[in-house]
């Protein structure tokens, strides 16, 4: 039984890898502008550019890229705010759900704009079908494409030449949609509808159950939304229970498909970098570091979930199937643990089981996945985060051996280092300052804020830490016991989401742009090679030290303390 479950995890991972390698090669061809499989989409793309009045032959500098990116994101924010605050009076609202309050609309709009899904509402009662499509589904597409486009700017900038011109943002962005996200989503959505996921504009259906209770079953255009939610690593559930909901994720097969869909682009982009730059060894080094990190976080979660909650064993519960609080029978404990770790190392944040009820050390590895935020990572942005770590590792390794720090033939100097350090330190700053401030507010008036925490003691602290970690990682999963639809949580996490999305895009793209402008120095015996296992160990050490040093005290107060009180 247990071995079968582990086998199935290995199977899902191997399928992911088998898809990601060719997909990486394909993406490299697409973004180099070479012949590729979906070239028949070109007329569609040209039509889109003509209607939008965009000339994609105009190459952009890194500043122009960022300006284009930020401007269009601002437009989307306006659109999302508008629809969310008025959805109650707009069409396609069969369940007559109300418009959102301003602070909730702000949090929701920001959340999906930044490819996250904090979701301080519940889909069944919080959104109209129009908002599910025009705000949620739409932002899930375009925010993922934004991240991929930013990663492609990085690819372009790391080539061995000296230039200002790094391609056209709209070109990368639209191709991410037409060549990858849209066709991929159609495939995933078809698997879902044939497995029983609804795709209808009909509202909820009232019925009387077999034993005679009256219920209403929520439906909606679920399949279309769930496909891009996973493929675009956004993670926002159609229903409140996300992919634990039996209509959103009906079978073990859909679970495997959804889980693979959310992993495949982040992994493929790593390989795409190698193909694009024709430096496959660099991609293998990055992939290796990410995979070691991922496996190290996965193992404890699977172990503890399969072994169940010792406190329940004492009560006479048979936990042969593992810890089942917050989990669904059709997935089982192992596949739930695997899902939770893939969704936290990758900033997808969808859930097929409730993280709040996981064993303390599983919760800890979920937190660490988001704290490092670079083991695969979200669509495009995972690679950008990793790039910042890479710059720091090059610099430290260079100092250790007394060589000029260089990456791919470009000198790393003070300016690049400053940006990389600021970006990597921003993450712990947002998480720890946010948690500390909130814990202070809670402690100052526990009675007034009693609704925040669903669990007392160490676990309650973990709930607050998790929410800020999730916001700063643009992840979106939660310890959902947290009563987070309050002005404080909506606004504070909204601000964290914004900073943690755009600064880690701006920083690495700026570094890449600065490097692209520098003179190329051919690699020589004096160069520290970046594509070796030794250097991979160095990068891993940098990530571990930054994450462990910054977060250890907070983790000790929450999940570690809870673990030692339980075992």
Partner 1 sequence: MKQNLLPALRLTLVLLVVCCLIYPVLVWAGAQLAPAAGQGVTVRHRGRVVGYANVGQKFDQPRYFNSRPSAVDYNAAGSAGSNKGPTNPAYLAEVHTRVEAFLQQNPTVAPGQVPAELVTASGSGLDPHLSPAGAYAQVERVARLRHLPVARVRALVAAHVEEPLIVFFGPAKVNVLALNVALDELSGQ
233-262 residues in contact with partner 1 (CB under 8 A) are 239-241, 244-247, 250-253, 255
Cβ neighbours, 10 Å, residue 229: 33
Query: Among 332, 377, 476, 504, which residue sits at the site for partner 1 (rule: CB under 8 A)?
Result: 332
Q: Which 74-103 residues touch partner 1, going by CB under 8 A?
A: 74-76, 79, 95
Query: Among 14, 18, 299, 317, which residue sits at the site for partner 1 (rule: CB under 8 A)?
Result: 317
Size of the site for partner 1 (CB under 8 A): 120
Nearer CB in complex with partner 1: 107/462: 462
Please tell me the number of Cα atoms within 13 Å of 183 on its side-chain side: 13
Task: With CA atoms as reference, report the closest residue to 354 among 324, 310, 317, 320.
Answer: 324
Q: How far is CA 427 from the centre of its chain?
A: 15
Contact region with partner 1 (CB under 8 A), list: 31-39, 68-76, 373-381, 492-500: 68-76
What is the rounded CA–CA span in Å between residue 484 and residue 481? Answer: 9
Direct distance between the N- and C-terminal alpha carbons of the chain, in angstroms, rounded to an integer: 25
Provide CB contacts within 8 A for 324, sequence distance 6+. 308, 333
Q: Which 446-475 residues touch partner 1, going by CB under 8 A?
A: 454-459, 462
Q: Which 506-565 residues touch partner 1, going by CB under 8 A?
A: 562, 565
What is the rounded CA–CA span in Å between residue 270 and residue 287? Answer: 7
CA distances from 458 to 40, 71, 445, 560 (A): 56, 42, 18, 9
Task: With CA atoms as reference, report the closest residue to 154 among 57, 29, 272, 281.
Answer: 272
Q: Do residues 376 and 263 touch, judged by C-beta distance below 8 A?
A: yes
Query: Among 152, 223, 270, 370, which residue sits at the site for partner 1 (rule: CB under 8 A)?
Result: 223
To the nearest whole angstrom, how small is the minimum distance from the Cβ of residue 322 to partner 1? 8
Provide CB contacts within 8 A for 76, sequence distance 6+. 113, 138, 139, 142
Query: Among 182, 265, 268, 473, which residue sits at the site for partner 1 (rule: CB under 8 A)?
Result: 182
What is the rounded CA–CA span in Å between residue 292 and residue 298? Answer: 10
| Residue 7 burial (C-beta neighbours within 10 Å; 0-12, 13-18, 19+) | exposed
Which residue's entry shows tokens 């790391």? 158
Please tell me the number of Cα atoms within 13 Å of 150 on its side-chain side: 32
Nearer CB in complex with partner 1: 45/416: 45
Nearer CB in complex with partner 1: 404/565: 565
Query: Among 184, 236, 274, 326, which residue sits at the site for partner 1 (rule: CB under 8 A)?
Result: 326
Tokens (6 digits) for 414: 């003070």
384 interacts with partner 1 by CB under 8 A: no
Q: Do residues 152 and 174 touch, judged by C-beta distance below 8 A?
A: no
Q: Which 343-372 residues touch partner 1, going by CB under 8 A?
A: 351-354, 356-360
To the nearest whole angstrom, how small is the minimum distance from the Cβ of residue 480 to partner 1? 5
Phi then psi dihedrals of residue 517, to 5 deg? -80, -15
To the nearest whole angstrom, how small is the minimum distance from the Cβ of residue 3 to partner 1? 8
To the nearest whole angstrom, how small is the minimum distance from the Cβ of residue 47 to partner 1? 8
Contact region with partner 1 (CB under 8 A), list: 98-106, 204-212, 384-392, 504-512: 204-212
To the nearest whole angstrom, how small is the minimum distance from the Cβ of residue 186 to partner 1? 6
Query: Among 40, 96, 320, 525, which residue sits at the site for partner 1 (rule: CB under 8 A)?
Result: 320
Nearer CB in complex with partner 1: 423/471: 471
Nearer CB in complex with partner 1: 532/565: 565
18 interacts with partner 1 by CB under 8 A: no
Q: Which 145-174 residues touch partner 1, going by CB under 8 A?
A: 170, 174
Which residue's entry shows tokens 């596949």? 335
Nearer CB in complex with partner 1: 32/355: 355
Query: Among 180, 189, 272, 555, which residue sits at the site for partner 1 (rule: CB under 8 A)?
Result: 189
What is the rounded CA–CA span in Å between residue 547 and residue 543? Answer: 6
Query: Among 46, 63, 125, 404, which residue sits at the site for partner 1 (rule: CB under 8 A)?
Result: 125
């Amino acid at each position: 039984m247990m071995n079968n479950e582990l086998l199935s995890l290995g199977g899902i991972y191997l399928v992911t890898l088998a898809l990601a390698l060719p997909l990486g090669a394909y993406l490299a061809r697409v973004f180099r502008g070479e012949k590729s499989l979906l070239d028949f989409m070109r007329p569609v793309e040209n039509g889109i550019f003509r209607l939008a009045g965009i000339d994609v032959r105009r190459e952009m500098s890194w500043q122009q890229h960022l300006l284009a990116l930020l401007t269009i994101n601002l437009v989307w924010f306006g659109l999302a705010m508008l629809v969310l605050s008025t959805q109650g009076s707009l069409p396609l609202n069969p369940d007559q759900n109300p418009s959102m309050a301003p602070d909730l609309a702000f949090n929701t709009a920001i959340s999906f704009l930044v490819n996250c899904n904090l979701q301080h509402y519940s889909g069944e009662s919080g959104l109209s079908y129009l908002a599910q499509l025009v705000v949620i589904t739409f932002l899930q597409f375009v925010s993922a494409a934004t991240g991929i486009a930013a990663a492609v700017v990085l690819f372009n900038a790391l080539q061995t030449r000296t230039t200002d011109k790094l391609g056209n943002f709209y070109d990368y962005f639209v191709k991410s949609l037409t060549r990858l996200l849209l066709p991929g989503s159609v495939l995933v959505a078809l698997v879902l509808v044939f497995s029983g996921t609804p795709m209808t504009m009909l509202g909820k259906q009232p019925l009387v159950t077999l034993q005679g209770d009256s219920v209403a079953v929520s439906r909606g255009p679920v399949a279309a939304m769930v496909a891009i939610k996973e493929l675009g690593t956004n993670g926002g559930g159609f229903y409140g229970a996300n992919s634990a909901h039996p209509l959103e994720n009906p079978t073990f097969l859909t679970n495997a498909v959804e889980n693979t869909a959310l992993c495949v682009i982040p992994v493929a982009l790593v390989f795409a970098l190698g193909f694009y730059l024709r430096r496959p060894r660099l991609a293998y080094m990055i992939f290796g570091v990410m995979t070691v990190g991922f496996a190290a976080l996965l193992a404890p979660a699977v172990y503890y979930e399969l072994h169940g909650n010792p406190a329940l064993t004492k009560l006479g519960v048979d936990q042969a199937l593992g810890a089942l609080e917050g989990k669904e029978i059709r997935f089982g404990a192992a596949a739930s643990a695997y899902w939770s770790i893939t969704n936290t190392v990758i900033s997808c944040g969808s859930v097929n089981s409730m993280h709040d009820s996981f064993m303390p050390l599983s919760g800890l590895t979920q937190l660490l996945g988001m704290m490092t935020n670079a083991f695969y990572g979200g669509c495009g942005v995972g690679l950008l985060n990793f790039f910042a770590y890479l710059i720091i590792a090059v610099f430290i390794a260079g100092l250790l051996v007394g060589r000029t720090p260089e990456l791919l033939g470009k000198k790393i100097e003070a300016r690049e280092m400053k940006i990389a350090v600021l970006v990597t330190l921003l993450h712990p700053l947002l998480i720890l300052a946010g948690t500390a401030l909130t814990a202070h507010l809670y402690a100052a008036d526990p009675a007034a804020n009693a609704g925040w925490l669903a669990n007392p003691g160490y676990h309650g602290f973990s709930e607050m830490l998790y929410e800020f970690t999730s916001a700063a990682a643009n992840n979106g999963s939660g310890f959902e016991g947290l009563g987070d639809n309050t002005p404080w949580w909506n606004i504070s996490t909204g601000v964290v989401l914004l900073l943690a999305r755009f600064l880690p895009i701006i920083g690495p793209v700026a570094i890449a742009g600065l490097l692209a402008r520098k003179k190329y120095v051919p690699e020589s015996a004096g160069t520290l090679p970046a594509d070796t296992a030794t250097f991979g160990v160095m990068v891993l050490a940098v990530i571990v030290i930054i994450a462990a040093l910054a977060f250890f005290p907070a983790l000790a107060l929450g999940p570690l303390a809870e673990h030692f009180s339980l075992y």
